[in-house]
Amino acid sequence: MKLKVLTEGDERLRVICKPVTKITPAIKKLIADMIETMYYKKGVGLAAPQVGSDLRIIVFDPRTTKRRKPQVLINPELSEMRGEIRGDEGCLSCPGLWGEVVRSAHVLAKGFNEAGEPVEIESDGGVLSVVLQHETDHLDGILFLDRLDPGQQQRVMKEREEL
């Protein structure tokens, strides 16, 4: 089932999410619905707070291949972050807004999949690094807008008013 994606200004996007302690049928349904919503909205990632849940779950598909390959990380933790990449980011929760964000080029993400099995994903630059950091930020109440430099924030706020 497609879920409603919350937009910037909704206070639920600013909560620090709670860890998942047990993978229940309701959690599996939420994950399936998040994946369906991500593809429907043509996103490359989606975090649980974006659909109104306060759980530490992200789904993503950076589409490095032509075939869909959705991935899930429950209770993700990022480490070994180093290097730097810059690129324009947008967000399903901030429709129409874009800005250049500086992220770590290398990231190691650890968590669990929907079966409760440990997962480790290592990325060295590119879309996957950005997606992992962007979606994990959502779990801590951080939007990409918060990571823009002051000049870009001012420009984006003006664009938002015009929208």
DSSP H or E stretch at residue 82? strand 71-82
- Token duo for residue 101: 């964000």
- The residues that are catalytic are 135
39-50 burial string, b = 16+ CB within 10 Å, else e? beeebbbbbbbb
Cβ-contact 5, 41 below 8 angstroms: yes
Distances from the Cα of 109 to the Cαs of 63, 79, 84, 100, in angstroms?
18, 7, 17, 23
Instruction: Report d(CA 59, CA 97) in Å as an integer.
Output: 21
Please state whether beta strands 57-60 and 118-124 pair in parallel, antiparallel, or not at all (unpaired).
unpaired
Task: Give the contacts of 158 (CB within 8 A, at least 6 positions apart).
Answer: none
